[in-house]
Structure formats: structure tokens, C-alpha cells
Amino acid sequence: MQRLFFLINLYIKYTSLIYKDMNTNVKTELLKIFEPELLEKILQSPIIEMPKNFSGESMQGGDGSIPILLEGKVSLHQRDSLGNEVKIYDINPAQSCIIAINSSLSHRTIAKTYVYAPEKSKMVMIPKEKSEFWFDEYKSWRRFVVNLYGKRLKELLSKHNAVSEQKVAIEERNEKITASINYAKRIQQAVFPSEEFLKNAGWDYFIYFEPRDIVSGDFYWIAKEGEKITIAAADATGHGVPGAFMSLLGIAYLNEMKELISEDDLAPNIILEKLRQKIKVSLNQTGKDGEAKDGMDIAMCTIDTKTRMLQYSGAHNPVYIFREETGEFIEIKSDRQPIGIHLRERPFTNHEIQLKKGDVFYIFSDGYVDQFGGKRGGKFKTKQFKEILQSIYKENMNEQKKMLNEIFQNWKGNLDQIDDVLVIGVRV
């Protein structure tokens, strides 16, 4: 019978830790990740020691604590539907457990897991309250969490590719793959922004988000600085797990720029310029032959909640505006260049338009218009999409979302969804 990790195992003990007790290599690695001030606070949290060959249940502790391994090695396991124990990943010094982090962020236990320490190990347990505070207070803590998401997603993809190559017993392994990607979905959803800014502004809005696979290359981003709210709808290269890598990268960089947006009052086109440079550096894009051409398309709008002035800039993706007062349709076209390397790069354009009360604007990815379906199996196309929005924009936004979904599903019919779908509508 498995012993409860935090309650029953008699080998675990809490201790205090000072710098001189720590392995020098681990200390050096942690100082690369965290500033000394934060590291000192981290090391003031409770310490857990595990003897060699320790095994136990629950890495999460039931209280939302987040572990960081200081010494030794720990592997994380889960049991499948057949009762087999399957290793999810290893945790090395200066690393944490993504499932524990996700549990802390979502304020609930996500799944039962098991830990095994093949050698004597030691970890520090960060209380949930501290983690939540540090996420806002320290950029290094935010980067640590987001980088860990990317690392674990990459490991999951590697495992999935290995499993897919095994034709023997593929049906049995399919359930394990799906379960792992579902974890990835929770990870992705955990870093998606809150909609509270739109709710607090008193706006009527919807976000229609329909990934092709469990995880998505499409993503949305919302930020509020002073009286201004910035909303972005983005379509990263690919879909599924590869697309999710790019989406996490995009969200992480946009979050890093929040301080600059606040201090310098950056317009959307400047934000896109800075995002493009970060993506190019991250993907080592210099314009040479054979380089990855990955990137993203995006539509970004900043709205002043007092004046209703809208600023827009876009990479391939436009913004549609319907004026309720006159029935007028306004399309602001994007720059025909991506966020990423491009042969004819030029500065992104910033557009301004004065909105009126009751105006509705839409930003979106190309997944809706590119979907095959209908009687002839053709694409939905932009013209039909505009006509649909023209016919429904006066409806309640929640009703619009339902109608868009019903139209999309009826159009697709029995055909496979070919891409992620994202449509955001806002009535100011």
C-alpha cells in the first residue's frame, strides 16, 4: 500500500536550509534563474528530505505548495487505466513539478501522481500564497514558471512522437497520449489571460475558441494599463502541441512587455515590432536558407475606456467594425507580414478610429474562413464570414457566439476541422 507523501512517510522531515548547506552547482544554477533577493525568500520555505529509494503518493501536498528540487533526483509517475505505472518525467535539481504548479494555479488537485527518489533528495516547498504573490512581484519567477511549461510540453511531444512510431499496441497507448495532451491543455489554459478586464469595463463580449486538437496554436491576450485595455487574437505557426509551443512563447513575451507598455504607453504597432524582434531572436531567424520560418499572425487593438478611441495594428489579420448607429461596416486591413522573419519587413502600421457607444469590433484567426465544408466541400471564405457577422452583430454577444459555433459546425459537417478557430467580438 502506497504511503501518503506528506502524512505517513516517517522518513520525511522539515529542516531549515542555509547557503553553506547547498550544493555549489545547484546554488549557481538557482542564481542564474532567480535574483538573490528572491532566492533567499525561496530558501526560507519548508524543506523536505527523502531517503534513497523513497516512493510515495502525491507531489502536490494537498495545499497547493510548489516544490523546487535542491538535491538528488525525483521522477513523477501516474497509473493508467490498466493499473500500469507510467513515468511522466524526471525532476532534476533547480527544477519543479509542472503538475504541482498547475494544481496551485487552478486551486485544485488535478490528478493523482506518484513520486520516486532513486537517491537521497531534498526539495523546498513554496507555499501557494507566496507563489501567487511572486508571480506578480518577480519577473524571474514568472519566467521560471513559463519556461518550465515549455520544457514539459517539449518532453511530452517527444514522448508522443516515440509512442506514435510504435505500431504495436498503439490503441492501448492512445489513451496515455490523450491524457498527456490533456495535461498540456491545462498548462496552456493556465497561462491564458483572465477576461476580468473586459468584464470590469462593462463591455458585452465573447471569445469563441475552438482548437483543432486538444491544445492550440491560436491564442488570445488581454492586458489593462490605466484606462486602456489591449486585446490580441493571434495565430501561431502550426496547431496541436507544436502550435502550443509558439503560443506559449508569444504569451510569455507579451507578458514581459506589460511593464514597458505601462511606462511608455506603447501603441499596438510598437508592441508588434518588439514582439517580432523577440520571436526572431528566440528562433535564431537571420534570413539564411534553411531557417525555421515559424512565427505568428496577430490582430491587436488598444481601446481607451474613457474616450473609446481604438488603436489597431495587425500582422496579416484585420479588424472588422460594425457601427450600430448607422449600420456601417468598417474594415481596417493588416500589414501583409508576419510576426517573425520576412523578406520585406517594414514597420507595422498603427491605425486609429473613434468608436461610438454600441459599436462592435471583431478580431480573429483564419481558422473559421479556411474551414472546408458545405455542399461542395469548399472553404467558408472571408466574404461569407463578413455576411454572417453583418447578420448577427446586433444580437447579444453570447448569442452571437452560439450562432457562430452552430454555423461553423453545420458547415464543417462530417469533415475534419483543419485549423484552430478563434473569434473575439466586443461591443463597447
Which pLDDT band holds residue 282 (cuts at 50, 70, 90)? confident
What per-residue confidence (pLDDT) applies to 160? 62
pLDDT at 163: 56
Can you list the alpha helix ranges (DSSP code H) found in 14-127? 24-33, 36-42, 98-106
Say which residue, 80 or 305, is predicted with more confidence: 305
Q: What is the pLDDT of residue 397?
A: 94
Asked whether the domain spanning 192-427 has the same topology as the one spanning 14-161, the reply is no
pTM of the predicted structure, to 2 decimals: 0.60
Pick the more confident residue, 422 or 112.
Answer: 422
What residue spans define the domains of the chain?
Answer: 14-161, 192-427
Does 154 score more than 80 pLDDT?
no
Distances (CA, A) of 333 to 79, 232, 269, 315, 362: 51, 15, 13, 9, 12
pLDDT, one tens digit per residue, over 17-54 is 444 456 778 878 888 888 888 888 888 888 888 899 99
Of 137-151, 346-360, 368-382, which gets the smallest average pLDDT? 137-151
pLDDT for residue 380: 97
Stretch among 94-103, 127-136, 251-260, 381-390 having the lowest mean pLDDT? 94-103
Provide the 10 A C-beta neighbour count for residue 172: 12
Helices (H), 315-392: 367-370, 382-392
β-sheet bridge partners, residue 354: 309
Task: Please say whether the structural domain 14-161 has been given the CATH code 2.60.120.10.
Answer: yes
Between 360 and 262, the more confident residue is 360
H/E element holding 148?
helix 139-164
> Picking from 150-164, 231-245, 257-271, 315-329, which range would have the lowest pLDDT averaged per residue?
150-164
Highest-pLDDT range among 58-62, 64-68, 397-401: 397-401
C-alpha dist (Å) from residue 249 to 45, 114, 243, 254: 30, 30, 10, 9
DSSP 316: B
Angle among Cα 54, 58, 143 to the nearest 5 degrees reads 105
* pLDDT per position as a tens digit, 321-343: 999 888 899 999 999 999 998 88
Residue 4: what pLDDT? 38
Q: Worst-scoring range by mean pLDDT, 17-31, 261-275, 277-291? A: 17-31
Residue 164 is predicted with a pLDDT of 59
Q: Is residue 160 within 8 Å of residue 178, measured between CB atoms?
A: no
The pLDDT of residue 158 is above 50: yes
Mean residue pLDDT across the chain:
83
Residue-level pLDDT at 99 = 77
3-state secondary structure of 321: strand
pLDDT of residue 58: 57
Angle at 113 between CA 107 and CA 117, to 5 degrees: 120
- The third-level CATH classification (topology) of the domain covering 192-427 is Phosphatase 2c; domain 1 (3.60.40)
* pLDDT score of 315 more than 50: yes
Question: What are the tens digits of pLDDT across the range 81-109?
Answer: 677 777 878 888 888 887 777 776 665 55
CA atoms within 13 A on the CB side of 246: 26
Going by pLDDT thresholds of 50, 70 and 90, the confidence category of residue 11 is very low
